[in-house]
Amino acid sequence: MAHEERRLEVLRAIVQDYVSTNDPVGSKALAERHDLGVSPATIRSDMAVLEEQGYITQPHTSAGRVPTDKGYRLFVDRLSAVKPLSMAERRAIERFLDGAVDLHDVLTRTVRLLASLTRQVAVVQWPTLSRSAVRHLEVVQLTASRLLLVLITDTGRVEQRVVESPVEIDADAVAELRSLLNATFGGARLGEAGGRVPELLETAPPHLRGLLAVLSAALVETLVEPGEDRLVVGGTANLARTSGLDFAGTVRPLLEALEEQVVVLRLIGEVDAGTVLVRIGEENAHEALAGASVVSVGYGSGGRSFGGLGVVGPTRMDYPGNMAAVRAVARYVGHLLAES
Amino acid sequence: MAHEERRLEVLRAIVQDYVSTNDPVGSKALAERHDLGVSPATIRSDMAVLEEQGYITQPHTSAGRVPTDKGYRLFVDRLSAVKPLSMAERRAIERFLDGAVDLHDVLTRTVRLLASLTRQVAVVQWPTLSRSAVRHLEVVQLTASRLLLVLITDTGRVEQRVVESPVEIDADAVAELRSLLNATFGGARLGEAGGRVPELLETAPPHLRGLLAVLSAALVETLVEPGEDRLVVGGTANLARTSGLDFAGTVRPLLEALEEQVVVLRLIGEVDAGTVLVRIGEENAHEALAGASVVSVGYGSGGRSFGGLGVVGPTRMDYPGNMAAVRAVARYVGHLLAES
DNA sequence: GTTGGCACTCTGTCCGTGCGAGTGCCAGCC
DNA sequence: GGCTGGCACTCGCACGGACAGAGTGCCAAC
């Protein structure tokens, strides 16, 4: 029915105006700035209904309306068109990311790029170890009874771990260990690594078994260690931009959550490559993020997701623009990492 | 002379009171809170002199006095006693840092620890490559003509670099390269690495020379690359704590400088192990840091400095406390890294 | 050289007023 | 039945004057 449609049109107009001006929007301003074909009075009655339904609210009696979380949700789900990136933005992505020398460099550049494109806080998850595969395992002898185990994954991560050996070791043993480990774990998804340990221990030469057990344990532990899911954060200066207006003094808990990482990781980590996920305000189910929205997507290649990335900002954000930017950057990063 | 001494005592009292209360301090309050043995009127005349000399200033005519950068400088240089850490703090340092599994972990824990001890923004520089020594070089074959060069330093850093080979390579060549590289560069300070390249190229078997040239170049380049001096930042939430009061809305440029890293790195990097360096306000010679102070020190072991660490906060900070915390943490981190 | 007294200055706060924006309601119109 | 213009009403906010309080500088006295 026509009523319904116009009301949604009104909601869309409210969201757009509010996002761009940061002022509660009134019926008169709406009628002027948008071709809704009806008078302010009519818009007022639509707004009354929208408020009744919980999509908008007024900060105080004689102010305009502001979208609620529910209003933004409807906007994102049904009212926003995908906003294509400008040529300048596309070029910026390429220029920014090309020339990165290693994984750390790629992630750092990505997070800066995303922050500058969206003017929000950007976060990028390191490729999760559990979804990576072993490219190479290296054993370096530090002292007679101390080894360094270095893991290099196909996603470019390098992890290290010092291992105390129960027995003294010589150079030959190190070489043997290296080739055994690579033969066993080479190419394995790290999720499967644990399963290959028993077989390795059975078939290995007896004098190396004790050592291999320790090394395997260190390897498996590296994957399980919760700290190994890391986050790169950037653009926090954007929080200070319009702080107090957008975040109503809630900047601090947000900064804390970003440093804690664990909360944000949970949100960012739950994504598939390709599907942009938007969580609005209270949907984040965490106090510090109640006033914020998170736009995230997985990055990876060939249908395989390495990890997630996204932006965190006030609920009053440019959803279509941010969704487009996040998706485009994720796609590019996926290609980049697949190549190297 | 007695005058002079009492005036300094007044300055010390002003700094202490102002740091703890954040209110401009007046003559009457000073007389009440400190046993200066003279009346407010006398203190007033002392304050007039201190203001004349540029150590304190008044925000407006009828307010109390506030220390200037110059005043803090005098306080730090001559008026503050070293504040020993409490037992609880010492225990916190040990508990926090023990159990770190690798360098990244150590640095992350350190920055969090320092931030929570001082309630300021903490920064820790990664061990500089140019001052590290080669512990091991690893060559991993990715494809027929693509190698991954992995550098492991004695400070625990692991750097990687993809190298395109001009010729096709087989497994034997890789093993040969590995042992040649380790023989040449093993144990070398990275600053000296460049000097050993010509000799390596002369003595190497001819068929490997082209490849060795490329690998050596990649190694040297890794050291020179400005991006390789990195910073771990933590506790930025502390900026939001009393923001507006301390930083007068200058939080944003500060956050930007911290993300840029380069400015802060210059400040943090210029330190010797052992000597705590304090830079106050304008002394930082950078706009974004003009309202901030930086307390930094080098960490390392055996007289050798790996890198710097420190805290960044408002000029109105607890200098003795922060200096003590920074020094204690640096010492502990130095030991920790020397062991591993 | 120190002290108490005093006049002065300035800020922050409180309160009352007026203005403007925006709404809800209602009677009239298509 | 839905849309529109008009109108009264409600608030928030900015402006301005008055006032109290804190702190100073100066001066005469000790």
Render pLDDT for A211-266 as a digit per residue (tens, 0 to 9). Answer: 889 999 988 888 777 667 889 999 999 988 765 544 446 788 899 999 989 999 98
Domains of chain B as residue ranges with CATH: 3-77 (1.10.10.10), 87-128+229-339 (3.30.450.40), 130-224 (3.30.390.60)
| Cβ atoms of residues A271 and A297 within 8 Å | yes
CA of B24 to C1' of C1 (A): 27
- pLDDT tens, position by position, A311-331: 999 999 999 999 999 999 999
Structure tokens at A288: 């510090």
Measured in angstroms, what separates residue B57's CA from nucleotide D18's C1'? 30
Q: How far A158 CA sits from the closest chain B CA (Å)?
A: 8
Please say whether the beta carbons of B27 and B17 come within 8 A. no
pLDDT at A44 over 90: yes
- B136-165 burial: b if 16+ Cβ within 10 Å, else e: bbbbbbbeeeebbbbbbbbbbbbbbbbbeb
Q: Stretch B35-61: mean pLDDT, rounded?
A: 91
Token look-up 């640096």 returns: B330
Q: Kindly indicate the confidence band of residue B102, based on its pLDDT and cuts at 50, 70 and 90.
A: confident
CA distances for A95 relative to A330, B53, B124, angstroms? 15, 53, 30
pLDDT value for B207: 86
Residues of B within an 8 Å Cβ radius of A: 101-103, 105, 108, 112, 135-136, 138, 140, 142, 148, 150, 152, 156, 158-162, 222, 225, 227, 234-237, 239-241, 243, 251-253, 255-256, 259, 340
For residue A68, CA distances in Å to A41, A90, A148, B286, B310 come to 22, 32, 54, 42, 43
Q: How far is the CA of B116 from the C1' of D17 (A)?
A: 48
Confidence of residue B71 (pLDDT cuts 50, 70, 90): very high
pLDDT reported for residue B2: 59
pTM: 0.90
> For B148-185, what is the HEC assignment?
EEEEEECCCCEEEEEEECCCCCCHHHHHHHHHHHHHHH
Q: From chain A, pick out residues whose CB is under 8 angstroms from the CB of B160.
A: 102-103, 152, 156, 158
The CA-based angle B59-B64-B65, given to 5 degrees, is 70
Q: What is the percent of chain A with per-residue pLDDT over 70, rounded to a whole number?
A: 96
Nucleotide nearest to A44 (CA to C1'): C23
| Residue B193 reports pLDDT greater than 70 | yes
pLDDT digits (tens, 9 = 90+) for B8-31: 999 999 999 999 988 999 999 899
Q: Which residues, other chains included, contact A219 with Cβ-Cβ below 8 Å and sequence gap of 6+?
A: A137, A149, A151, A161, A185, A193
pLDDT at A99: 80
* Residue with CA nearest to C5's C1' atom: B41
Q: Specify burial of residue A224 (Cβ count, 10 A radius: 0-12, 13-18, 19+).
A: exposed
Q: Which amino acid is at A39?
A: S
3-class SS at B231?
Answer: strand
Q: Determine what percent of chain B falls in helix, strand and coil, rounding each to the nearest 5.
A: 55, 20, 25
Write down the pLDDT at residue A14. Answer: 95
State, as a whole number of angstroms, the distance between the CA of B277 and the C1' of D21.
Answer: 41
Please report residues of A whose CB lies closer than 8 A to that of B158. Answer: 150, 158, 160
For residue B144, report the phi and psi dihedrals to the nearest 5 degrees: -60, -30
Strand C bases with any atom < 7 A from protein Cβ: 1-5, 8-11, 20-26
Asked which of A66-80, A161-175, A284-298, B294-308 is least confident by mean pLDDT, the reply is A161-175
